[in-house]
C-alpha cells in the first residue's frame, strides 16, 4: 500500500494553464523546497528557504501554486501530488538534465555473435551496440515516434533517466537501466501505463517476409519476425520491441528464471538474463490468426511459450 498526499478537491486545470503556472523560476523553487522536507512549512519558513527578496512577490507566486500544486494545511504548506510529480521530474533530470556518456565497453556479450558490447547514454536511454556484427535492429525509436536509422551494431536500448548515471560506473548503469526498463515493461504487459497509470493499448506485428538465420530482415529491420508495441491511451508514452516483451512478466517465465537462480528484476549479471530473454527460438505456427511459439533455454532447461494473436500466453511447456 502507498500512503500519499492527494488533492482533497480533485480540481483539474487545462494543460496550458498548468505549464503557465510553472513558467517561473521562483515557483519551481518553491516546489523544490517543499519537496525536500518531510513536514509542512509555515509561510515564513518557506519564504526563508526560497531565494527571493520581496515577500510580496513571493506571496504572489505562492498563491498561484496553491490549489493546483501546493496545498495549504493547518500546519503550513505541503505539496499536492501534481507538485510532487513536477519535483520528481526535475530531480530525475528528465526535463533539465543533459548528461554525457560516450561509447563505453562493458562486460556484456552480443547475443547474436558473442562479441563485446558497448553502451552509450542518449535521450533518456542506455543504447547497446555490438562491436563486431550488424546488431539486431536497423531502426531505433529512441529519438521519438518517427525513429531513425540505427548505427551499425545496434542491439536495442534500456530506459534510464539522467539521474540514473549519477555516482554509477558503466556496469552499474547497465544494471540500473535493466531494472528500470523491466519494471516499465511489466507495467505495460499488465495494461498499466508506467507514466500516468491509464490503460495501455497493445499492437502486434509479424513480418511474413522474415527468414530465420539471415540476420536483420530487410523488410522489418529486426532479427525476429514478431514485434510488439505498447501505447498509452491517455498520455504520449509508448515503447515496444521483440514480441517476447509481452511474456516476460508471465509467471511461467518468472519462475523459469528464478528456478535457475536469476533475479529477473535486478540480476547482477544482466548479460546472462538478456541472453535468455533475447536469445530465444521463434516459431510461427500460423499467420492468420497469429500463433507463435517462443522457446527459451537456460542451463540445459527449456521453456516453450505459445502465444495467440494478442501475444497472450495460451500454453507453456518445460523440458530438458
Q: pLDDT tens across 112-161, in order?
A: 888 999 999 987 889 999 999 988 888 775 544 445 678 889 988 898 88
Q: What is the DSSP string of 112-162?
A: TT--EEEEEEETTEEEEEESSS--SBSEE-TT-TT-EEPPTTEEEEEE--G
* Inter-residue contact 30 to 67 (CB < 8 Å): no
Q: Who has greater pLDDT, 76 or 320?
A: 76
Instruction: Using the predicted structure, report yes or no on whether residue 266 has a pLDDT greater than 60.
Output: yes
Please state the pTM of the whole predicted model.
Answer: 0.72
Q: Who has greater pLDDT, 89 or 279?
A: 279
Q: Which of 190-199, 244-253, 271-280 is the least confident region? A: 271-280
260 exposure class (CB count in 10 Å sphere: 0-12, 13-18, 19+): middle
Cα torsion 179, 185, 188, 194: sign: positive
The pLDDT confidence band at residue 98, using thresholds 50, 70 and 90, is low
Q: What is the pLDDT, as a whole number, of residue 106?
A: 93
Planar angle of CA 273, 274, 278, nearest 5 degrees: 125
pLDDT above 70 as % of the chain: 87
Could you report the per-residue pLDDT of 223-257, keeping only the tens digit for each?
889 999 999 998 878 888 899 999 999 999 999 99
Domains within the chain, CATH numbers bracketed: 15-92 (1.10.10.10)
Say if residue 255 is preceded by a cis peptide, omega within 30 of 0.
Answer: no
Average pLDDT, the chain: 85
Q: Who has greater pLDDT, 85 or 306?
A: 306
Say how far apart CA 163 and CA 97 lie, in whole Å: 8
Amino acid at each position: 500500500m502507498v500512503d500519499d498526499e492527494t488533492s482533497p478537491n480533485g480540481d483539474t486545470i487545462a494543460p496550458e494553464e498548468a505549464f503557465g503556472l510553472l513558467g517561473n523560476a521562483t515557483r519551481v523553487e518553491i516546489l523544490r523546497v517543499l519537496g525536500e522536507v518531510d513536514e509542512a512549512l509555515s509561510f515564513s519558513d518557506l519564504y526563508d528557504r526560497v531565494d527571493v527578496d520581496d515577500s510580496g512577490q513571493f506571496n504572489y507566486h505562492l498563491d498561484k501554486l496553491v490549489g493546483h500544486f501546493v496545498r495549504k494545511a493547518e500546519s503550513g504548506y505541503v505539496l499536492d501530488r501534481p507538485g510532487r510529480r513536477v519535483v520528481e521530474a526535475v530531480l530525475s533530470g528528465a526535463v533539465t538534465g543533459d548528461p554525457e556518456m560516450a561509447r563505453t565497453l562493458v562486460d556484456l556479450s552480443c547475443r547474436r555473435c558473442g562479441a563485446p558490447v558497448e553502451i552509450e547514454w542518449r535521450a533518456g536511454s542506455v543504447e547497446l551496440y555490438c562491436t563486431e556484427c550488424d546488431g539486431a535492429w536497423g531502426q531505433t525509436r529512441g529519438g521519438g515516434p518517427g525513429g531513425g536509422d540505427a548505427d551499425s551494431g545496434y542491439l536495442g536500448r534500456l530506459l534510464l533517466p539522467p539521474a540514473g548515471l549519477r555516482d554509477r560506473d558503466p556496469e552499474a548503469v547497465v544494471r540500473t537501466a535493466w531494472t528500470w526498463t523491466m519494471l516499465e515493461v511489466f507495467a505495460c504487459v499488465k495494461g498499466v501505463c508506467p507514466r500516468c497509470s491509464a490503460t495501455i493499448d497493445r499492437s502486434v506485428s509479424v513480418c511474413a517476409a522474415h527468414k530465420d538465420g539471415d540476420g536483420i530482415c530487410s523488410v522489418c529491420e529486426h532479427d525476429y519476425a514478431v514485434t510488439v508495441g505498447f501505447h498509452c491511451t491517455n498520455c504520449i508514452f509508448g515503447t515496444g520491441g521483440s514480441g517476447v516483451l509481452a511474456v516476460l512478466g508471465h509467471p511461467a517465465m518468472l519462475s523459469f528464471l528464478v528456478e535457475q537462480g536469476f533475479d529477473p528484476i535486478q540480476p547482477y549479471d544482466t548479460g546472462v538474463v538478456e541472453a535468455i530473454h533475447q536469445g530465444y527460438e521463434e516459431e510461427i505456427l500460423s499467420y492468420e490468426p497469429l500463433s507463435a511459439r517462443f522457446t527459451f533455454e537456460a542451463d540445459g532447461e527449456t521453456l516453450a511459450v505459445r502465444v495467440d494473436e494478442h501475444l497472450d500466453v495460451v500454453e507453456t511447456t518445460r523440458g530438458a
